[in-house]
Amino acid sequence: MIATLADTPVLETERLTLRAPIPSDIEPWVAFLMSERGVWHGGGPDAGEGVAWRVAATFVGHWVLNGFGLFVALDRESGRPVASSGPYAPPDFPEIEVGWSVWAGADEGKGYASEAARAVIAHCRDDLKMPTLVSYIAPENTRSCALAERLGAWRDKDANGPHPDDLVYRHYGVAA
Amino acid sequence: MTTAPTITTEHLNLRAHRASDMDAFWDFYQTPRADFMDKPQNRSHLWYGLMAEVGSWVVDGHGGWAVDLHDGTLIGQVAILQPPHFAETELGWLLFDGYEGLGYAHEAAEAALNFARETVKPASLVSYIHRDNTRSKRLAERLGATPDPQAKEHDDEDNVYRHVGRAA
């Protein structure tokens, strides 16, 4: 018996379909989380497969307990999962965060992350009516910082992140 | 949304986790009863663990249950999990301070074991138990499991108790 997440929203963009995770996403998601770039999402090459699995399973459990979470973005033409993005609210995050990741190195630079994140931010604001939305980004993750700025977010130096070094990029709303 | 199925036994309800279970589990991990377990370093780590045990139901068709008395008091957890770094599927249990010695852990673990046998049907099922955790080892034996010194441990300090099948 493999269960599925039911009654979850689907977002369509020009090239992508964003839907809640399904079991077959876990293998490529874990592979991404074990890669060099997975280090920004709680994984990385040193963390190992067990940690990567736990992070991916956490992203799925987040949907069940919160009713929202990270979407998996499929390239509609091939049906292949290429990226993930969605609102995320662990207890140590001062505000709801939107994150994004392109899973395979070969899919970087195609604009998938920005296309997915744009749809997710609009969904958080217009459908879920989340009062504020930020991205917490490590300063060394310069590509993500640049993307946050391209998405129209601005550095909020008065807002706190979960880690003291994080930069807080604000998409909309005012810190509580 | 998909969650763990509720299983009712003589004294207990095994039910899907709720976000409000967090506090009780945090308190448990501060007690010596958790000394044989991988303790979360902070509340965020605990949250990740609990979320993964919930997400596992969607990913693998099994995961963690909260264990309640029939009056709704949360007294522990049972789980069927197989993260990829576990050699085999694992049945685990934990019981909060003050509820031991009443047969509750046995009752909850037996219900989960039956669910595994009837519904999950894993190729094999073991419990990884710290070698000094004599009470848990005794419970594994009462459930009918036998020590399998040939099986791959999850941790150097574990003993492996086998419920179902053989090591791959």
Q: What is the ipTM of this complex?
A: 0.79
Beta strands B158-164 and B146-147: pairing type? antiparallel
Q: By CA distance, what is B84's nearest residue in A?
A: A50
In-domain check, residue B39 = yes
- Across chain A, what does the average pLDDT equal? 93
Q: Does residue B78 form part of some domain? A: yes
Mapping DSSP to helix (H, G, I), strand (E, B) and coil, where does residue B25 land? Answer: helix
Q: Which residues on adjacent β-strands are paired with residue A97?
A: A88, A134
Determine, for residues A64 and B2 on separate chains, whether the beta-carbon distance falls below 8 Å. yes
Full residue range of the structural domain in which residue B15 is found: 7-162
Q: Please report whether residue B167 resides in a domain.
A: no
Residue B55 is nearest to which of A50, A58, A67, comparing CB atoms?
A: A58
In a domain, B16, yes or no: yes
Asked if pLDDT for residue B168 goes beyond 80, the answer is no
| Rounded mean pLDDT, A146-152 | 97
Contacts of A90 in chain B (CB under 8 A): 44, 47-48
Question: Can you say how many angstroms the Cα of residue B153 is from the centroid of all Cα atoms in its chain?
Answer: 16
Residue B168 lies in a domain: no
**Residues of chain B positioned with their CB less than 8 A from the CB of A23:** 58-60
User: Could you tell me which residues come within 8 angstroms of residue A5 by beta carbon, excluding any fewer than 6 positions away?
Assistant: A20, A21, A22, A60, A63, A64, B1, B2, B58
Higher pLDDT, A11 or B150: A11
Residue A57, chain B, CB below 8 Å: the answer is yes
Q: Does the pLDDT at position A1 exceed 50?
A: no
CATH number at residue B60: 3.40.630.30
Q: What is the mean pLDDT of residues B102-128?
A: 96
B141 within some domain: yes
**Residue type (1 letter), B150:** Q
Tell me how many domains chain B contains: 1
B20 and chain A in contact, CB less than 8 A: no
Tokens representing A145? 């910082």
Q: Residue B57 — very low, low, confident or very high, per pLDDT cuts 50/70/90?
A: very high
Residue B2 lies in a domain: no
Give the β-pairing of A167-172 and A133-137. Answer: antiparallel
Q: Do A92 and B43 touch (CB under 8 A)?
A: yes
- pLDDT > 70: percent of chain A: 97
> In which element (H, E) is residue A172 found?
strand A167-172
Task: Order across the sheet with B146-147: list the strands.
Answer: B7-8, B12-15, B64-69, B74-81, B89-95, B125-130, B158-164, B146-147
Using alpha carbons, list the distances in angstroms from residue B149 to A96, B4, B63, B140, B142: 47, 32, 26, 15, 18
CA angle B10, B15, B21 (to 5 degrees): 120
Residue of A nearest to B118 (CA): A1
Question: What is the chain B residue with the closest CA to A8?
Answer: B1
Residue of A58, A66, A88, A136 for testing the chain B interface, max B β-carbons within 10 Å: A58
The 3 state secondary structure assigned to A21-75 is CCHHHHHHHHHHHCCHHHHHHCCCCCCHHHHHHHHHHHHHHHHHHHCCCCEEEEE
Non-local (6+) Cβ contacts of A174 within 8 A are: A132
Q: How many CA atoms lie within 13 A of A17 on its CB side?
A: 14
Mutate to test the interface with A, among B59, B62, B117, B155 (most CBs of A within 10 A): B59
CA A120-B58-A108 angle, 5° bins: 40
Minimum mean pLDDT range among A6-10, A113-117, A147-151, B71-75: A6-10
B20 is a domain residue: yes
pLDDT, tens only, A102-111: 999 999 999 9
User: What is the arithmetic mean of pLDDT over A61-70?
Assistant: 93
